[in-house]
Chain A
Amino acid sequence: MRYHTPATFENASAIAAAASGVTRFLAGGTDVLVQMRADIVTPDDLIDIKHISGVKDIVQEDDKCWSIGAAVAGAELTAHKGLCADWPGVIEGMGLVGSTQVQGRATLIGNLCNGSPAADSVPGLAAAGAEVSVVGPKGTRQVKVEDIPAGPGKTTLAKGEVISGIYLPPRGKGGGDAYLRFIPRTEMDIAVVGCAVNLRVEGDTITEARVVLGAVAPTIVVVEDAAKALIGSTLDDKALVALAAAASAACRPINDKRGTIEFRKDVAGVLARRAAKIAYDRARGAK
């Protein structure tokens, strides 16, 4: 295995593009090292992006958009007051990934690129409308977060492409988001179901909403019908029932060691309701 420490994303991309064997990018390493240890993946080239300048930065741009470097660890996000105030749902999703120790290393982009449908940070990012910038042999492109996962362990990134940063839109007025997941214990599990809700209110009425489910299909699911159930409502019981039904209906889960199809469908609806209430309270508190 060759270990590379490129100084720019363009170099990182070039190394990956030229590589003939298995290539992995290394940021937090909390997935790559586990896969190496379990003999699932033994890269021929491991490209450590942490020597690239700016990868540890969290910056709020002039337009109030947040730019987060590719190697910013979960613990660094959680400690960032401004980011937590704007996007609490995104940050609580990331904060649920692994233990305190894992939080010391794991990154948003790593969680995204690992391609797990159960990745805790991804529904929140997608609900927030986050985008990533992808550096590749053909230059740089902006991609919506929900367009990156392609199925368990797979992404839409082409050979030689690497994500250099993530961008959260300006929070704006009356916004609130939340992420909840279900696990059998209280910590240290992979989500059996995850649900992120991001919404905006005017007065008590929801004007915009995005609902995204995790761990109930090969990729995260952006549930349009669930958003429709919320928009225009004051999160009354009728809206909550419709929301839960839409969330459950959007699930295309499997039976596996972590849960059953029926359980995932049921709990997706429950979590959607609960997350919507938190997001709604946050949005009204923030107005």
Chain B
Amino acid sequence: MPLDTKTTGFKYIGTRPDRPDGIDKVTGKARYGADAYAPGMLHGVMVRSPHAHARIKKIDATKALALKGVKAVVTRADFPTGLEGEDWNIQENCMAGEVALYDGHAVAAVAATSLLLAREAAKLIEVEYEVLPHVTDVDEAMKPGAPAIRAGAADYSVPEGLHPNVMRYIEYGHGDLEAGFAAADLVMENTYKTEATHQGYIEPHACLAQLGSDGKGEMWVCTQGHWFIRRMSAAVLGIDVANLRVTPSEIGGGFGGKTTVFIEPVALALSRKAGKPVKMVMTRSEVLRATGPTSSSSIDVKMGMKKDGTMTAAKVTMRMQGGAFPMAPIDSALDCAFSCYNIPAVHHEGYDVLANRPKQAAYRAPGSPMAAFATESLVDEMCRALGLDPLKTRLKNASREGTKASFGPTFPRIGLVETLEAAIAHPHYAAPLGTNQGRGVASGYWMNWGGETSVSAALGEDGSVTVSVGTPDIGGSRASMALMAAEALGIPYENVRVNVVDTGSLGVNEPTHGSRATYATGLATIEAVKQISSKLCQRAADKWGIPAEAVIWEDGCAKPSGPNAGEFPPLTIGELAAEMGSTGGPISGHFEATPSGHGGSFGTHIVDVEVDPETGHTSVLRYTVVQDAGKAIHPAYVEGQFQGGAAQGIGWALNEEYIYGADGRLQNTVFLDYRIPVASDLPMIDTVIVEVPNPGHPYGVRGVGETGITPPLPAVANAVHAAAGVRLRSLPMSPPRILAAIKAKG
């Protein structure tokens, strides 16, 4: 795709205007998932398995249905059969079939005239279970004798002889590994473990669904991607996608967790059965028990290094459980494991394993934080052993343009070196530290994503422009799109209105995921509004009686392209728009693509912590994020992504974890015990935006949403080591673990 790339001399790009949806969101007017109501609406409540693994012998809803005001009960029997592949997985996850596969797995649902009544009815639905043996730990799930969760479901890639819980096996690499290790002065190998975490969005899943017996339906839902919701819901229910119109609400956080369906097809099924709209809103406990947390992981990493810090070879073996369904993100985890470094010989191996836990969903750079925790911890340990500066050692080995990436291809223009240089030069890196304090650094990578994208732009009669996009605005993307449209058209930011529209109003769009919205929707927005300006040039040319090629678009005006084109005063967008009905009709632009020049984003973080040697408590004292944004369209929201990613990574490193009891039940199902960072846990988070323009975007944008969660896990572990003299190779580094390590050290 030929792109008219521009990386300097911007008028609007790089400024920090107020976001267009700001007032709605500070006054309580913005409507989120649970803020919708419909006439005659019923409330739906799910019945969930209290067992980690159990055969469903019988479901009896007689007592529930006898309650006045209870309108429908659905079970798996109300869904079509014969689905295959991921469609079947999604259906099975939304409503258990023969076996409940994890604590919290939905087994039935009820709709009633009030929420209180629906809750009461749900308690009256009697489910008879035969409890089966369960396994929740990834390493345990691969051992002989572990209960097979779904025998015979492994794909082509799994060699014979592995436990039936292994769903996929991946192996790749390049270079001579043995020679590489032989050439090293130091070879180290360790095992690292990370526990599952949750995206922790503050807004629970919510939807308002209506489906008729004719298969025509509508849904209001908080989601990162309503076309995904449409496709998955339609598949689970066996209806046509075009018959289901999905409107996205404002969304209260997603981080990958709102890219799939949980309650949506069930609400539609209840609505179809009851003949009325049904609203379903998850409780926080349901969100934690039964949506899509991350995988937990167990990782072996081995690396060879010369005395001067040169990396000679590296090998990683990654085991991940993604719940009772395949598709734990081993692929991206492996690709990110050594992506920061130019290592002559690398080898990757990965196992995708089933366990009796909820089906994992994407969480911000899926797989990359776990991989970085292992690799970047090991690099730090090796730098310590060899007495090397950890940032300079990273710089020495850093991937750059032309490096053969650890996952195969040659890197195009990337910005890791620039982030490392900025981190080394940052005053934070040289600042003094006190007693029990330590500093850690780490780098991280996310490859980003382009994805299916459609954007429409329409010119208004007064010269203002409406842009219709399909990627929900989770963190200020309306502002970024408006800035790019304003820049491309040369009109004020305020004259662009960006709307996130429903599935009936635009072609297919993938969700706001994969750090793709500013990149892909931005690219499509620029191309769509450029169609408007080129049409306006044509109108001006017609008016002036000169060829369209002789007209250029500049500063919001059509102008003759030079003296040879003739002398005409510029025509403004407003003048041209006012006449468009009589000069050829309405003007709009449309662009659709699956752009693939997204380019990856690298980041380097510096963190200072203080560890209380008597309690193992870790305080984060200072934090700096350095990351390549390609070009920061709205720098305030880029900084926000950096800071938010760092905060989530700190939570993952220190206190967040899924805790399963011996009974296979999740023990921490509320925010009181699922401990995400609170305001008093964190310092200000300093940011440095590095801009190495991405040649794959007209303005050089790289996605920035995900990379920021990757370095904190190892950076904090490295800082804890520096502060307390102990190396924690299992996350979270909760106080009991740190104190035990300190005591073991003596």
Contacts and interface: CB of A to CB of B under 8 A. Distances in A.
B288 to A, nearest CB: 12
A224 interface: no
B735 A263 contact: yes
Given A184-B734, A257-B668, A263-B740, A190 B680 contact: no
B178 interface: no
A257 B667 CA distance: 7
B668 A182 contact: no
A257 B673 contact: yes
A270 B123 CA distance: 46
Nearest to B739: A263
Contact of B654 (A38, A39, A184, A189): A184
Interface in A249-277: 257-260, 262-263, 266-267, 270
B734 A186 contact: no
A257 B681 CA distance: 20
Contacts of B730: none
Interface string A184-195: 111111101000
B644 interface: no
Contacts of B668: 257
Interface string A174-201: 0000000010111111101000000000
A267 B619 CA distance: 17
Contacts, number: 61
A188 B350 CA distance: 38
Contacts of B654: 184
B736 A263 contact: yes
B659 to A, nearest CB: 5
Contacts of B431: none
B535 interface: no
Interface string A84-125: 000000000000000000000000000000000000000000
Nearest to A258: B673
B403 interface: no
A76 B119 CA distance: 36
Contacts of A185: 655, 675, 677-678, 680-681
Contacts of A189: 672, 675
Interface footprint category on B: 20 to 34
Interface in B725-746: 734-736, 739-740, 743
Q: Is the interface of A mostly helix, strand, loop or mixed?
A: loop
Contacts of A260: 736, 740
B615 A270 contact: yes
Which secondary structure dominates where chain B touches chain A? loop
> Interface range on chain A: under 10, 10 to 19, 20 to 34, or 35 or more?
20 to 34
B682 to A, nearest CB: 9
A39 B120 CA distance: 10
Nearest to A264: B736
Interface string B171-189: 0000000000000000000
A188 B673 CA distance: 9
B43 to A, nearest CB: 15
Contacts of B736: 259-260, 262-263
A245 to B, nearest CB: 14
Interface in B82-124: 119, 123
Given A38-B285, A257-B667, A263-B739, A186 B681 contact: yes
Contacts of A190: 672-673
Contacts of B616: 263
B568 to A, nearest CB: 65
Interface string A37-61: 1110000000000000000000000
A79 B617 CA distance: 30
Given A257-B667, A257-B673, A187 B735 contact: no
Contact of A186 (B123, B615, B667, B680): B680
B614 interface: yes
Contacts of A267: 614-615, 739
Contacts of B285: 38
Contacts of A182: 615, 617, 735
Interface in B512-538: none
A190 B736 CA distance: 15
Contacts of A263: 616, 735-736, 739-740
Interface string B660-685: 00000001101111010110110000
Contact of A188 (B614, B678, B735): B678
A276 to B, nearest CB: 14
Nearest to B735: A184
A22 B617 CA distance: 41
B655 A184 contact: yes
Contacts of A266: 614-615, 739, 743
B105 to A, nearest CB: 18
A263 B735 CA distance: 8
A257 B659 contact: yes
A192 B616 CA distance: 13
A270 B680 contact: no
Nearest to B680: A186
A257 B674 CA distance: 10
Contacts of B119: 39
A182 B670 CA distance: 19
Interface string A50-88: 000000000000000000000000000000000000000
Interface string B701-735: 00000000000000000000000000000000011
B678 A186 contact: yes
B5 to A, nearest CB: 46
Nearest to A186: B680
Contacts of B739: 263, 266-267
Nearest to A263: B736
Contacts of B740: 260, 262-263
Give the one of B672, B680, B736, B740 with max A CB within 10 A.
Answer: B736
Contacts of A188: 671-672, 675, 678
Nearest to B123: A39
Nearest to B674: A257
A257 B657 CA distance: 10
Nearest to A256: B667
Contacts of A258: 673
A103 to B, nearest CB: 14
B47 to A, nearest CB: 12
A266 B659 CA distance: 23
A263 B612 CA distance: 13
B622 to A, nearest CB: 16
A270 B616 CA distance: 11
Contacts of A187: 678, 680-681
Nearest to A1: B116
B441 to A, nearest CB: 24
A263 B654 CA distance: 16
Interface in B465-504: none
Interface in B31-49: none
A206 to B, nearest CB: 22
Interface in B579-621: 614-617, 619
A63 B659 CA distance: 51
A95 to B, nearest CB: 14
B675 to A, nearest CB: 6
A184 B737 CA distance: 11
Contact of A270 (B614, B655, B659, B673): B614
Contacts of A262: 736, 740
24 contacts: A37-B283, A38-B670, A182-B615, A182-B735, A184-B654, A184-B675, A185-B655, A185-B678, A186-B678, A186-B680, A187-B678, A188-B671, A188-B672, A188-B675, A188-B678, A259-B735, A260-B740, A262-B740, A263-B616, A263-B735, A263-B736, A263-B739, A266-B743, A267-B615
Closest 6 CB pairs of A and B: A263-B736, A186-B680, A270-B614, A257-B659, A257-B667, A260-B736
Given A39-B119, A187-B678, A257-B659, 11 more contacts: A39-B123, A184-B675, A185-B675, A187-B680, A187-B681, A188-B672, A192-B735, A260-B736, A260-B740, A263-B735, A267-B739
Interface of B: 119, 123, 283, 285, 614-617, 619, 654-655, 659, 667-668, 670-673, 675, 677-678, 680-681, 734-736, 739-740, 743
